[in-house]
A and B are shown apart, each in its own frame.
Chain A
Amino acid sequence: MAPTLAVFKLASCDGCQLTLLDCEDELLALAGEVDITHFLEASSAVAPGPYDLSLVEGSVTTAEDAERIRAIRAASRHLVTIGACATAGGIQALRNFADVDEYRRVVYAHPEYVATLATSTPVSAHVDVDFELRGCPIDRRQLIEVITAFLAGRKPDVPDHSVCFECKRRGTVCVTVAHGTPCLGPVTHAGCGALCPAYHRGCFGCFGPSGSVNLPALIPLLRRDGLDEDAVERFLHTFNAAAFDKIDKE
């Protein structure tokens, strides 16, 4: 029997699970190696668990999803979170620093119709997670590596060093050193291939904090390069706000 693969979605934009469908060259080959038994975005054939590998996109923002993620965990031999929402709460975790009732009133004419938790939390805050794949969105090559590794029973080769390493490897001139461009590369987890500096902009932290982060060293550089205190806070408070905030407070 081929191993079974499932894909689930919580609060998210669909972009990380779309990344699996964006593996145009590998998709049919993958479908020959695994049995994709639950992937609502792609198939109306849905089989119950257990699943050998479950990929989970999205963060937990409702009481129902908090229950659902427990059921998914119970049905999954390995559970891998894909993307910044599932791994760090995503951009919707900006509510964690605000008054969610006020948010509800701003967006909805009848806030009483809308059920939501006060926080957006990563899957790991609710259940054990076997591996967390970073990124907003995840990188296609890393996704293939993670699936391959779990099928082979080995650890994924996904280094946790910073984006700076990827710029050096790519031969990209440092945008901060050469142009004084504010860049989160020194504190951001590698994985995108250092895209932004190659497009002449500073990294904006899609992949969240790297394995060793030194914010007190970085923040004066951001200030020197023209960001005021509010702008520094906004820079760190986007797709991985909760993860950077946790490090800032440590």
Chain B
Amino acid sequence: MTHRGSRVLHVGSLSRVEGEGALRLRVHDGTVTEARLEIYEPPRFFEAFLRGRSYTEPPDITARVCGICPVAYQMSACAAIEDACGVSVDPVIRELRRLLYCGEWIESQALHIYLLHAPDFLGRTSAIDLARTHRAEVERGLRLKKAGNSLMELLGGRAVHPVNVRLGGFHRVPAVDELRSLEEELKQALDDAWDTVRWVAGFEFPDAEVAADLLALAEPDTYAIESGTPTVLRTDGTRTSFPVRDFTEHVTETHVAHSTALHSRLDGRLHLTGSLARLAISGARLSPVALEAAVAAGLGDPRAGAVCRNPFRSILVRAVETVYAVGEALRIIRAYEPPARPYAEVPPVAGVGHGATEAPRGVLYHRYELDADGIVTSALLVPPTAQNQGAIEDDLRRLAQRALGEPDVDDGELTALCERAIRNHDPCISCSTHFLDLTVVRTAGEDAGGCDA
């Protein structure tokens, strides 16, 4: 097939991503002139209907933004509202929150590795298709995913939209024996996570490099999950950071036509958040076992400054982060002593609060304004995928352009490559979007290439 003629390719909705969305690729006389990830989420208006709600409600309400990362929403909401009210929680509560978050990381990373991403590397359409030839591997992935869910079910009540999180802590904290009951399943999960690292390390990775600044939270002594300082590694290698309360001074959103998601820039530049950014910024803070996994995965030693910018290799980073999260869960469970109280009282205070945590797919920022009675007067949610949209489009443009320079690339291959380029970033389109059709519009000269789906 030619890639210089007038041509429209219509390939149906993007699959194996969370949510539904569309991509438009416009090729003019052999050059990619436009690469757009179109976001058409039927708006659900969370930021509008949160106004007038009680300050105790956002953890439960905002969980419903995303069924894949509800804990991230609950944790960012708690962090922001506790910030507004000037409350900081007990160290044991912090650890329990981190434990719940580890459950979500394990579940979500295993979901992406095995069910969404691995089929791309092995030429399969789904994990079910993959199980026909790789049954033991798919069973291992499901077992690993289930270990994450078991953790969320025990500590949170259920895996999707846990019920046990509240401002200041938890409605009920587990007894020592309850948490310890998970130890065997997590020990198996640690073996499974290691086997996952070895398995994905054998995949073949196309060359590619994200040309965006990387943004992740950082903590001085640990790999940041449930808290941290927003930290930027720029493409020139310089590192800067800013307080969470200044988030919207740096990450600015603009509303683009034909889209219901808001596009972000970091200090006016493209940025990427998520696994690649976290490893680049906090990799040296990984546990010894996870550092070993990073080296075994071929990612280099983060302590020596190794940075991976190849989005195809993000599956390796997710596998390493899964090893880390399982190890963290075991560490927390083994050290656990129940706190004196399941939660700290959080009396309402008029003011503004900010919170940011590391959702599996990147930094999730919340901001709330409360009145003296604790009624929310304004709310702002900045999800990771909206931040990543610009970098994803930039990836698409460059990968498609390179593919067009190779001989005999047909539209099917180009489409498959574009879909992979999107999946590499584990977009959570339900956080920000709705239906998405892939349309490649190819034009030559002034000749329009056809309709846009």
B416 to chain A, nearest CB (A): 9
The reply to whether A24 and B166 form a contact with Cβ atoms under 8 Å apart is no
The reply to whether B44 and A14 form a contact with Cβ atoms under 8 Å apart is no
Query: How many residues from B make CB contacts under 8 Å with A?
Result: 72
A102 to B61, CA, bound (A): 20
Within 8 A of B (CB), among A62-105: 62, 64-65, 90-92, 94-95, 98, 100, 102-104
User: What residues of chain B have their CB less than 8 Å away from a CB belonging to chain A?
Assistant: 12-20, 41-49, 51, 53-54, 57, 60-61, 64-68, 70, 111, 115-116, 119, 125-129, 131, 135, 138-139, 142-143, 145-146, 149, 157-161, 163-164, 166, 170-172, 254-260, 262, 342, 419, 430, 434-435
- Is A45's beta carbon under 8 Å from chain B? yes
The reply to whether B129 and A15 form a contact with Cβ atoms under 8 Å apart is no
Query: How many residues from A make CB contacts under 8 Å with B?
Result: 64
What residues on A are CB-neighbors of B160 within 8 Å? 15-16, 18-19, 22, 137
B129, B143, B170: the one within 8 Å of A43 (CB):
B129
The reply to whether A28 and B138 form a contact with Cβ atoms under 8 Å apart is yes
User: What residues of chain A have their CB less than 8 Å away from a CB belonging to chain B?
Assistant: 9-19, 21-22, 24-25, 27-28, 31, 36, 39-46, 61-62, 64-65, 90-92, 94-95, 98, 100, 102-104, 106-110, 113-114, 116, 136-137, 192, 195-196, 198-201, 204, 206, 231, 234, 238-239
A98 to B49, CA, bound (A): 9
The reply to whether B259 and A113 form a contact with Cβ atoms under 8 Å apart is yes
What residues on A are CB-neighbors of B20 within 8 Å? 9, 40
A20 to B29, CA, bound (A): 45
B17, B44, B254, B435: the one within 8 Å of A91 (CB):
B44
The reply to whether B166 and A110 form a contact with Cβ atoms under 8 Å apart is no
| Highest count of chain A CB atoms <10 Å: which of B44, B434, B435 | B44
Give me 24 A-to-B residue pairs in the complex whose CB atoms sit less than 8 angstroms apart, sorted by A's number. A13-B430, A14-B18, A15-B64, A22-B145, A25-B142, A28-B135, A31-B131, A40-B14, A42-B15, A44-B119, A45-B125, A46-B12, A46-B13, A107-B43, A107-B48, A113-B257, A113-B259, A116-B42, A192-B158, A195-B158, A199-B164, A201-B166, A204-B60, A238-B57
What residues on A are CB-neighbors of B49 within 8 Å? 91, 94-95, 98, 103
A196 to B119, CA, bound (A): 38
A94, A98, A238: the one within 8 Å of B60 (CB):
A238
What residues on B are CB-neighbors of A17 within 8 Å? 67
Closest 10 CB pairs of A and B: A15-B67, A43-B126, A45-B125, A103-B48, A44-B15, A24-B146, A109-B255, A137-B160, A24-B142, A94-B49
A25, A137, A206: the one within 8 Å of B146 (CB):
A25
With A13-B64, A15-B66 known, 7 other A-B pairs at CB within 8 A are: A14-B430, A15-B68, A17-B67, A94-B45, A102-B48, A200-B171, A231-B54
Q: Which residue of A lies closest to B49 (CB)?
A: A94
B111, B164, B419: the one within 8 Å of A21 (CB):
B111
A129 to B127, CA, bound (A): 30
The reply to whether B128 and A27 form a contact with Cβ atoms under 8 Å apart is yes
Q: Which residue of B lies closest to A41 (CB)?
A: B18
